[in-house]
Amino acid sequence: MEFGTIDVILSIFLAVMVAYAAKLFNKAESPSSPAKKPAHLVNGAKSTQSTTAIDKDEVPTILFLFGSESGTAENFAFDVAEEAPIYGFKSRVLSLDEFSPHEFENEKFIVYIAATHGEGEPCSNSQTFWDEWVTKDAEERDSNELSHLTYSVFGLGNRQYRHFNAVAKRIDQEMALAKAERLIPCQLGDDDGTMEEDMDKWRSDFWAAARIRFLSADAASVDLASQPAFNATYDVTIYPQQSDHVKGYVSGLEKVARYFNDPVKEHRTGIVTVTKAVELRQAKDDCLESTAHVELSLADTKLTYRTADNLGVHPRNDYKTAGKLAKRCGVDMKTIFSAKGSNANRRVPMPNPCSVEDAFLYFLDIHSIPKHKFASIFATYAKDEKEKAKLSYFANDSKGKEEFHNARYNWGDLLEAFPSIDVPFAHLLEMIPRLQPRYYTISSSSKTDPKTVSVTVTRLFSTKPHNGQEFKGVASDFLCNSIDDTNNHKMVVFVRQSLFRLPHRAGTPIIMIGPGTGLAPFRGFVREFSTRAKEHKFGDTVLFFGCRHPEKDYIYREELEKAKEDGLLTDLCVAYSRVPGQPKVYVQQLVKQQAERMWDLIEKGAYIYVCGGTAMGRDVLDVFRNLVSQYGKYSPSDAEIFVDKLIRQNRYVQELWSAN
């Protein structure tokens, strides 16, 4: 069959049209510029995430769940959640104890911002969730229980602790086992120096991945430059002098106690009075050095405690700093105001109404060090171009960030150093974090002194690099100052349970290790030993204590030596680390010297208690692992398992704190 001219022309025309249609179709299917992926999804890395775009109305609300002890994780959660609208999402925020595992089925996207407390434990506001879901037997779960859900985890921990970020790691693990989709790898923040950088990295990766996963959009397409440097959400009302709010306002500790009182969360507050305060150091190398024994009366409160519990103190900032900051903000200390946040989930950290004086003294941490992001924020408030440039240098240059970190400005310092910063009082109220309680291990015995609680406090102090002025710990300075003046020294406190509990069985050996103020719970133990009837006495009671010099900071020396003389202590072993002409000796070395005896006591069922710094705690733990291996004839790995079992049985209990 032969084709005519017209047939050939028609064939060519149809072929061209088909090719053109195919080109148009392929162009519609392929975006002109592919979305930029976060670092963890490039360079050959694989992801099981779907990048199919979904309808805008179907974009899930992100639920941010925080577990926080000091407030840092809570602040991070709200900070990131408030960025959600910028990136195209809605959000809400809850503490972990406000979330029930039954609600998983109603959620599509969950972010955990969880701190690890103590030796690998969840924070107090995470415990219920931890018990009800995290530690739940996997066999009791549906293997695909959370397959409908996407999640991400940011952890807050400290590398000085043995179980660094254990809570975040475990939550991440359990979510994956329940078949939830991990958005990006779990990020572990380190409070020992890089927390802000860790959060910034996670935040950048998180929003990039979230937009790709749910919006098929490039995170770089968000115009961050057009966003305000600080998104103020407080509505602040200043009341005139003749208003009822001002006339009926009651200031001071009663307001503080009512605000923080929460018996449901085991935070029952009481106003206590200092009845006795004495200096425990025999000599000082610096006029600010002080270790105080402070006794507080519980007689007018409903508070009770058990020996070695923790006393939570709601501290008071000093009047001078508070007044100076108020003046810098252009407000009078007696001014009464109310503050309401537009974010219903975020609790304003002060009562309404409140005076400027109460806010700066009791509710806001005006001595805290602003995060480096505030250098950028304050640059937008600065009127002077040189100051603006310096603040921008702090915010954006790597050396500038380091300089800002090392300067250790508090809020007043920063505003004083850059006088052209014109920040509204309402904004500053929202910027400054909540003043958190400080915890001290109780050093009295509830058996011998049920209505009096004592704490042992060392004043924290250092020199500020930017101006040479002295920095003093808010609570420790207030407590140590009561040595010279107990008049009107009142404070709001509450009691938090401790894991330090003496065994019930008579004849049980007790090993106590506590250098410095780590001695506090063991002073309480020793006083309790005296209440035991002869037939209920413990076995050997061995105390390892450490200080710098026997004539300078051997605290409670007379009490301890008398306890040894009276037989309440079988052994009193003291290490000195700063005696001229003698080698430095620490408690862990003394324990090692008595390794064989320690093993003998462990075989007799000894309970071991360690209180003090994390570095000391790690060293002591290593000593016990080694002595178990050597004298118990265990391999190193089996010795570690043996000691871990003692920890699980509460026969090896630690209460440690980081040097920072």
What is the domain-level CATH number for residue 133? Answer: 3.40.50.360
pLDDT higher than threshold 50 for residue 30: no
Tell whether 86 and 66 lie within a shared domain.
yes
Tell whether 607 and 543 lie within a shared domain.
yes
Q: What percent of the chain has pLDDT over 90?
A: 69
Residues 152-171, mean pLDDT to the nearest whole number: 92
Cα separation, 419 vs 132, whole angstroms: 52
Name which residue leads in pLDDT, 159 or 619. 619
Provide the pLDDT confidence category of residue 5 given band limits of 50, 70 and 90.
very low
pLDDT higher than threshold 60 for residue 530: yes
CA distances from 643 to 400, 589, 619, 637 (A): 46, 19, 14, 10
pLDDT higher than threshold 70 for residue 94: yes
Tell whether 124 and 185 lie within a shared domain.
yes
Query: pLDDT at position 26, please?
Result: 40
Provide the pLDDT confidence category of residue 423 given band limits of 50, 70 and 90.
very high
Query: What total number of domains does the chain contain?
Result: 5
pLDDT higher than threshold 50 for residue 25: no
Provide the pLDDT confidence category of residue 342 given band limits of 50, 70 and 90.
confident
Which of 3-7, 81-85, 141-145, 504-508 bottoms out in mean pLDDT, i.e. has the lowest?
A: 3-7
Q: What percent of the chain has pLDDT over 70?
A: 86
Tell whether 24 and 90 lie within a shared domain.
no
Query: pLDDT at position 211, please?
Result: 92
Residues 172-197, mean pLDDT to the nearest whole number: 91
pTM: 0.84
Q: Which of 169, 204, 224 is the last residue of a domain?
A: 224
Domain containing 110 equals 40-224
- The angle at the Cα of 404, spanning 400 to 409, to the nearest 5 degrees, equals 160
Q: Summarize pLDDT for 127-150 with one digit per residue, the tens.
A: 999 999 998 876 666 667 899 999
Neighbours of 566 (CB within 10 A): 11
User: Is residue 394 one of the residues assigned to a domain?
Assistant: no
Tell whether 639 and 554 lie within a shared domain.
yes
Tell whether 547 and 624 lie within a shared domain.
yes
User: Is residue 485 one of the residues assigned to a domain?
Assistant: yes
User: In the numeric block, which tokens belong to residue 484?
Assistant: 């010279």
User: Is residue 396 one of the residues assigned to a domain?
Assistant: no
Q: Summarize pLDDT for 206-260 with one digit per residue, the tens.
A: 999 999 999 877 655 666 656 667 888 899 999 998 899 898 898 889 999 999 9
pLDDT higher than threshold 90 for residue 608: yes
Tell whether 182 and 192 lie within a shared domain.
yes
- Between the ranges 40-49, 225-234, 604-613, where is the mean pLDDT highest? 604-613
Tell whether 476 and 556 lie within a shared domain.
no
Q: Summarize pLDDT for 536-569 with one digit per residue, the tens.
A: 889 999 999 999 999 999 999 999 999 999 999 9
Bridge-based pairing state of the strands 470-472 and 461-463 = antiparallel
CA distances from 419 to 213, 533, 606 (A): 45, 67, 61
pLDDT higher than threshold 90 for residue 279: yes
| Burial category of 225 from C-beta neighbours within 10 Å (exposed 0-12, middle 13-18, buried 19 and up) | exposed
Provide the pLDDT confidence category of residue 270 given band limits of 50, 70 and 90.
very high
Provide the pLDDT confidence category of residue 191 given band limits of 50, 70 and 90.
confident
Provide the pLDDT confidence category of residue 297 given band limits of 50, 70 and 90.
very high
What is the domain-level CATH number for residue 424? Answer: 1.20.990.10
Provide the pLDDT confidence category of residue 22 given band limits of 50, 70 and 90.
very low
Residues 62-75, mean pLDDT to the nearest whole number: 92
User: Is residue 427 one of the residues assigned to a domain?
Assistant: yes
Tell whether 18 and 56 lie within a shared domain.
no
What is the domain-level CATH number for residue 445? Answer: 2.40.30.10
pLDDT higher than threshold 70 for residue 120: yes
User: Is residue 98 one of the residues assigned to a domain?
Assistant: yes
Tell me the three state secondary structure of residue 291. Answer: strand
Residues 107-113, mean pLDDT to the nearest whole number: 97
Compute the chain's Rg from CA coordinates. Answer: 30
User: Is residue 182 one of the residues assigned to a domain?
Assistant: yes
pLDDT higher than threshold 90 for residue 184: yes
Averaged confidence pLDDT in the chain:
87
Tell whether 311 and 455 lie within a shared domain.
yes
User: Is residue 344 one of the residues assigned to a domain?
Assistant: yes
Tell whether 89 and 55 lie within a shared domain.
yes
Tell whether 104 and 212 lie within a shared domain.
yes
Which of 75-79, 328-332, 345-349, 439-443 bottoms out in mean pLDDT, i.e. has the lowest?
A: 345-349
Provide the pLDDT confidence category of residue 89 given band limits of 50, 70 and 90.
very high
User: Is residue 390 one of the residues assigned to a domain?
Assistant: no
Bridge-based pairing state of the strands 310-314 and 291-297 = unpaired
Q: If you search the block for the tokens 């179907």, which residue do you land on?
A: 58
pLDDT higher than threshold 50 for residue 512: yes
Q: Which amino acid is at 588?
A: Q
